[in-house]
Amino acid sequence: MKRFVILILLISIITSAQQEATIYQDNTHLRKGPGSYYPLLGILLKDALVTILQETSGWVKISTSGREGWISQNALSEKDRATSSMKTSDFKNVRPTFLSRASASGAVKGFAQTYLKKHDGSMTFLDQYDTAFFQPREYENFRQETYRNRNMKKIRKRYRRIKIENKEPEINSYLEKMGFAVAGQIATGGLETDIQKLRYINMVGNLIVESTPLYYYPFKFYILSDERPVAYATPNGMIFVSQGLLDVLQSEAELACVLGHEISHVVQQHGYSEVTKRKTQIVAEGAFDELEEEMPEGFSDEELDDLAFQMFEAATSRRQTEYEYEADMMGVIYAYQAGYAPHGLASVLKSIKSMTSRDFWHPESNWQYNAIEDRSEKVTAFISAELKKNSDWNVENSHRFNRVFH
Ligand SMILES: [Zn+2]
């Protein structure tokens, strides 16, 4: 009898932990584990009904129509996140609420292919896009090694005041398509294929991404075969660092700051938020139906073309100086919250400056001698004023960096 009561108690504990919720965020990735680096199982569309099975920090295990997987906490509506009571819904299942991994990435690739054919873009990055640069287990070990003898939770809390206004970032299927097209243009000069280097920069990049509001989005990091010290970010979280820039770097902390800078262009949606503002509204009305087709409805080829080209420009040229200052600040904050020495960015800027002549002007990145000097001074002042707490926790890791790159 006693055993029976315990059993009933157990069952009720298990069932009360289960709770229904509705998907609130467009383009919600369903993953095999609680991290953006776990394999993608498919895409959940807005309004999909799910059952919550388990929660960890930032991630929720759910089941829906016989599938189980992990989504980010942000994907659920505020209400579902806050309350633990059972939610009843009058949701009518009129649209599909789940897209297989193949059909979701097919739509994205379809658009990129059409666009790139017209613009002589490079498709080489597509081969690397589906590559898992590392296994989750490998990444867990890398993270442990990075934070050995340090308290990761305390490190994350070292700086909480992010003064810069930013809306809750979101990368919808539409930005994903455009970003893919932009990436093809950026990669025109070719990509490095050394898997050891790619694995390394992707693992360092993921440590930074985890300390940003886009922790749930799968950023990917690539190496451009380009001797000039340059870096680019596309609206869908594809970060390109040139071999020339990697040659200048001296430590993992410097790499972390450079990646942090590029990641913050994505988080802040620099340059492309204006481009897409009006048109995204139109697309939002069509919700996610367009994901199943190659082209979103209501757009002519010319309009899409035009948008992708404007995004390419936003990612590679005419960068407003304010964006660069903002990305410098946010970049060092992210690197610092991931445990890295924020001075890395100042030293990278100094290195670039020392190899730059006074009359230097880089037309694509809008980098000029004076701007580099100005940025270096500003970011140094910001770091000494704001990012000085428990500096003995800072990770430099020049040894690990040099093992891979020199
Ligand atoms: Zn930048």
In this predicted structure, the answer to whether residue 164 has a pLDDT above a threshold of 80 is no
Region for residue 95 given its phi and psi (left: phi exceeds 0; alpha: psi -120 to 50; beta: otherwise): beta
How much is the pLDDT for 286?
Answer: 44
Q: Average of pLDDT values for 310-332? A: 83
For ligand 1, the distance from its centroid to the CA atom of residue 66, given in whole angstroms, is: 43
Q: Cα(195)–Cα(203) distance, rounded to whole angstroms?
A: 12
For ligand 1, the distance from its centroid to the CA atom of residue 210, given in whole angstroms, is: 20
For ligand 1, the distance from its centroid to the CA atom of residue 65, given in whole angstroms, is: 42
How much is the pLDDT for 316?
Answer: 76
How much is the pLDDT for 80?
Answer: 63
For ligand 1, the distance from its centroid to the CA atom of residue 293, given in whole angstroms, is: 33
For ligand 1, the distance from its centroid to the CA atom of residue 243, given in whole angstroms, is: 17
Q: Average of pLDDT values for 63-67? A: 92
Q: Quote the crossing angle between the two packed helices 343-354 and 369-386, to the nearest 10°.
A: 160
For ligand 1, the distance from its centroid to the CA atom of residue 327, given in whole angstroms, is: 6
Give the residue among 182, 159, 188, 190 at the shortest CA–CA distance from 237: 182
Task: Report residue 54: phi and psi, to 5°.
Answer: -165, 150
pLDDT in tens, 265-309: 999 888 776 666 555 544 444 433 444 444 444 556 677 777 788
- Global pTM reads 0.85
Q: Average of pLDDT values for 369-374? A: 80
In this predicted structure, the answer to whether residue 99 has a pLDDT above a threshold of 90 is no
**Cβ proximity of 228 and 367 under 8 Å:** no
255-287 per-residue burial string, b: 16 or more CB within 10 A, e: under 16:
bbbbbbbbbbbbbbbbbbbebbeebbeebeeee
pLDDT in tens, 14-51: 555 578 999 988 789 999 999 999 999 999 988 899 99
For 343, the token pair is: 């001075």
CB atoms within 10 A of CB 33: 13
For ligand 1, the distance from its centroid to the CA atom of residue 53, given in whole angstroms, is: 40
| DSSP state at residue 391 | G
For ligand 1, the distance from its centroid to the CA atom of residue 22, given in whole angstroms, is: 36
For ligand 1, the distance from its centroid to the CA atom of residue 94, given in whole angstroms, is: 43
**40-44 and 98-100 strand pairing:** antiparallel
For ligand 1, the distance from its centroid to the CA atom of residue 401, given in whole angstroms, is: 22
How much is the pLDDT for 25?
Answer: 86
| Residue spans in the chain of domains classed CATH 2.30.30.40 | 19-95
How much is the pLDDT for 289?
Answer: 43
**Cβ proximity of 206 and 153 under 8 Å:** no
For ligand 1, the distance from its centroid to the CA atom of residue 205, given in whole angstroms, is: 16
How much is the pLDDT for 331?
Answer: 96
How much is the pLDDT for 139?
Answer: 97
How much is the pLDDT for 65?
Answer: 87
- C-alpha dist (Å) from residue 149 to 224, 339, 393: 35, 12, 9
**Cβ proximity of 52 and 60 under 8 Å:** yes
pLDDT in tens, 325-353: 999 999 999 999 999 999 999 999 988 88
Q: Average of pLDDT values for 359-367? A: 59
Percent of the chain topping pLDDT 70: 79
**Cβ proximity of 212 and 267 under 8 Å:** yes
Q: Cα(224)–Cα(187) distance, rounded to whole angstroms?
A: 7
For ligand 1, the distance from its centroid to the CA atom of residue 95, given in whole angstroms, is: 40
Q: Can you name the CATH fold of 19-95?
A: SH3 type barrels. (2.30.30)
